[in-house]
Structure 1
Amino acid sequence: MTFQDQEFIDRDPRIERVLIGSTDLQRRVTELGREISSEYTSEDRPILVSILKGGVIFLSDLVRSITIPHEFDFMAVSSYTGQNTTGVVKINMDLQASITDRHVLIVEDIVDTGLTLDHLLELLSSRKPTSLRTCTLLNKVDARRKEVRIDHKGFDIPDEFVIGYGLDYNEQYRNLPFVGVLRG
């Protein structure tokens, strides 16, 4: 844990602990960028699809570690209210770009139940991309209700409600440079 990580914890007693520190996050994001870069050629020019709002911090760091030409676009999808999943996936904002005949990489901040990613895979697959792969920073295996394929993952984490590095609780804590856990 860095001094900055500790400073955030000291200022907010609702943060119970750091689960993944900022140094470990940056190291793993760089590794994921290398993995993804080795999977495509420069001619492939994949399009990375980030899920708003949580995925934007991860995507911002990830794209700077990908060494091949690529593009990115965004979707807004909801299935949570507060700390609870509704189980219903709703598309609030769709892609601007066409993904037909394109290599597509879905970039998620977290996969827990698998319901959102399963829905996205089905939806985007119907648009006939050349390839459709997945990348998630956080993988919450014990919360899984629907098995989904994850091609690139940053960290397996326990089934706890996490915040930081784009993840929020009622729109708060996205700015934390680490992934943390709130007090019960």
Structure 2
Amino acid sequence: MKTIKIKDKEFIPMISEAEIKERVKLVAEQISNDMKGKNPLLLAVLNGSFVFAADLMREITIPSEISFVKLASYQGTTSTGKVKEVIGINEDLTGRTVIIVEDIVESGLTIKQMIESIGTRNPESVHICTLLLKPDCLKTELDIEYAAFKIPNDFIVGYGLDYDQQGRNLKDIYVVKGRE
């Protein structure tokens, strides 16, 4: 891994592809054990979680399903603090075990809004799974059962995460240079 440039920012390596794969497999094993006999519905939040959700789904060893919801709260490198649902949930969630799959949990406001929305659809249970968690940034209390990595409050890119829609295709995760 080397320093890369995306638009006006330079990024340096933070988490390697090998580390990501190892942690995704561990999270999938935990979900497979915890959810045995439940056929959970993974509800992946687009756009950022699509790479993580695909890799996670392939590693889960129990029957499971996946669907997608698109929410927006980012502009450039800064969260707007306002979550706007773009594409809604179409599945019947009554009696279902739902696992929200996120790329990154920072303030927790997106997840909180999703849990509230999902709760009106009578699921059996709702769980949270994230690739990255920034515990120091949480603004709401959440029970995050599955987190592959806990990271500091740095701006990152790669493995589905973007900077103004660029860098999602990177296999590793990078942190903006000067903030490492």
Instruction: State if a TM-score over 0.5 links the two structures.
Output: yes
Shift, 1:151, TM fit: 0.8
Indicate the SS of the match to 1:134. strand
Q: Which residue of 1 aligns with 2:22?
A: 27
Aligned residue identity for 1:17: I
Indicate the SS of the match to 1:77. strand
Matched, 1:141 2:135: yes
Matched, 1:132 2:126: yes
Partner Cα separation in structure 1 for residue 106 and residue 123 of structure 2? 25
Partner Cα separation in structure 2 for residue 28 and residue 86 of structure 1? 29
1:36 aligned to which of 31, 45, 51: 31
Shift, 1:84, TM fit: 1.2
Aligned residue identity for 2:152: P
Once the two structures are overlaid, the 10-residue window that deviates more, 50-59 or 78-87, is 78-87
Q: Which residue of 1 aligns with 2:175?
A: 181
Q: Which residue of 1 aligns with 2:67?
A: 73
**TM-score, length basis structure 1:** 0.91
Partner Cα separation in structure 1 for residue 150 and residue 100 of structure 2? 18
Aligned residue identity for 2:177: R
Aligned residue identity for 1:83: T
Q: Identity over the aligned pairs, expressed in percent?
A: 37
Q: Which residue of 2 aligns with 1:91?
A: 85
Shift, 1:89, TM fit: 0.9
Shift, 1:10, TM fit: 5.7
| Deviation per residue, 1:57-89 (Å, 9 max, x gap) | 000100011000000000000111111111111
1:167 aligned to which of 161, 168, 179: 161
Q: Which residue of 2 aligns with 1:158?
A: 152
Alpha-carbon contact 2:45-2:68 (below 8 Å) kept: yes
Alpha-carbon contact 2:4-2:12 (below 8 Å) kept: no
Alpha-carbon contact 1:48-1:105 (below 8 Å) kept: yes
Aligned residue identity for 1:64: R
Aligned residue identity for 1:159: N
Alpha-carbon contact 2:106-2:134 (below 8 Å) kept: yes
RMSD (CA atoms)? 1.6
Alpha-carbon contact 1:15-1:180 (below 8 Å) kept: no
**TM-score, length basis structure 2:** 0.93
Q: Which runs of 5+ in 2 are unaligned?
A: none
| Deviation per residue, 1:20-77 (Å, 9 max, x gap) | 11110000000001000001123x1110000000000000100011000000000000
Aligned length: 177
